Structure 1
C-alpha cells in the first residue's frame, strides 16, 4: 500500500506540473525517448537512454557500443509518439485485444492497479513492445493523468512471464512507475531551469544573433553537433561551431567530446545524468530573483516562443538521419 500511495502521488505531481510548464512540448519528446528505452529494456534489448537519445537526435555518441544491425531500435518510436499526440481521451480501449477485459469488481480497486492489470493482460497476449508503450494511455484513460505522459511506460517482466503475480511483483511495478514519474519531474525542473537560464542569457546578450534559435533547438534536440546545427539553422559549419562554443561558455551546453573535429554538445542536465559532467558540489546557488516584467522582457519571451514553435514544426516535418 505504501508503494501504491507513493506511485499515485508521484504521477499526480508530474501531471499537475506538466499542465502549466512552458517547456511541456520539448519535455514530452525527451520523456518519449526515456519511456521508449524502458520498453526496449523490458523486451530484453541491451541499451541505455543515451543510445536512444542520440539516435533520436540523429547522432551517434563516440565510444558507445553499437546496437545489433538486425534490430531497428526506433521502429515503433515515431508511430507511438504520433499516437500519443493524437490521443483525445475517448475510445482508448478500442485498440486493446478483445481477450482483455476487467472483472465485475474491478471498480473496487484503485485506478493504478486496474491500469497495470490491463498492461499485464496485454503483455500476456502480445509479445511486442506495444503493451509496455500502452501504459501511459491506460493511465490517462482511467483518469490518473489528463494526457498520456510518455515517461510512464512499462511494468515488470513478471507481467509476461507469470500467470499469477506475487505481492512483490506488484510492488516492483509500482516502484518502477514511481521512479519514472519522479525522474520525469526532476527532468522537467532541470529543463525549466535551462529555459530560464537561456532567457537571462538572451537579455544580457549585446547581440544575440542566432543564439535564440540554438537555445530553442537544444530544448527539443539536446544532443547537437556543428553539422547538425548548421543543417537545422542554415549556418556554415564554422559559424555553428562558434555558436555552440558561445552557448557552452554561458553554461547552456556542455561539450562531451574532447577533440577538434566531430564535436558534440549536450544540455547540462543530461550531461550530468549520462555521466559526461560532474554534478555541482557544495551548497547550491541562491536561486536568482524572477525576471523583471517589462516590454523588453515580453519581446524576448514572445520571440523565443516563436523560435521554439518554429523548431518544433521543422523537427516534426523532417526525418533526421543518423550521422556518424
Structure 2
C-alpha cells in the first residue's frame, strides 16, 4: 500500500466556497442561538507580527478561550505562533513564549491564563456539541503560506474570524475586510487543522520519558487520572490544557538535546516518580500542586522570548 504523503504544515488552510461558508456558520448559529459573539476581527498587523515571532515559524494556532466559564459570549481568540524543525515540514509545535500570547484585540495573556480560558471553553462547548472533553475542539491551525495568501489579497486591512460547526467540531472561516470594515466579496478560507484532531502525534513529555526508560506501565495510571478525576481538583483543568499545550515544543527540545537521556532521567526521578507515588496514594491535590511546579519550571527553562512591535 502506498503511504499517503502528509501536507507541508506551512500550507495548511485553503479557500472555500460561499456555500460552504454559509453551511459552517449557519450551523453554529442554529446550534448555539444564545451566542451573539461568534465573529472576531483581527488586525492584519497583529497576524503579520505573530508570523514574524520566529525564523522557524510554520503558522498560527488560533486557540479558543472563554474568559468567564458561565458566559458563552466571553470568547477570546489567542494567536499562538507555531514552529517547525528545519528538517521536518510535516510537524509543528506551539512556541512556549516567555512574554505570553496575544488575543485578537492585541491584549497579552500568560500561558496559565490562556490554559485556564481554553479549559473554560472546552468545558462549555464539549457539552454543547456532545463531544468528550478530550476530543473537543480547542482551536484551529493555519499555515504561514495560507495566511499570507489571504493577507496579501489587495485592500485587505483586517481578517474577520467566523466560528463554524461541523458535526461535533468547531472549525473557523477567515474572511478579509477592507479598511472600512467591509468584507471583500466571495473570499473565504477554511480547511485549517482542527485542534486536537490535527495536532502532530509526537509523544508528550511523560510518554517520552517513560518510553525512553522502558517503564511504560506507568502511563496507564496517569491516563486514568487524567480522564477521570483530574479536572475535579483545583488547577486540574488548567494544568490539563497547559501540559498538552507545552508538550510538543518541550518534547522536541529535549529529544534533540545532546544530553537528552540525562534530562529525561532527571525528569523521571524528580517529577514523574513523585507524581506517580502521590496518585497511587490518592493524594490527588498534592499531585497537581507538584505538576503545577513542574510545568512552570519547564516553561521557565524552555520558553522563548518574542515581542510584537
Q: TM-score, normalised by structure 2?
A: 0.30
Rg: which structure is higher?
1
Give the helix-richer structure, 1 or 2: 1
Q: TM-score, normalised by structure 1?
A: 0.29
- Higher strand proportion: 2
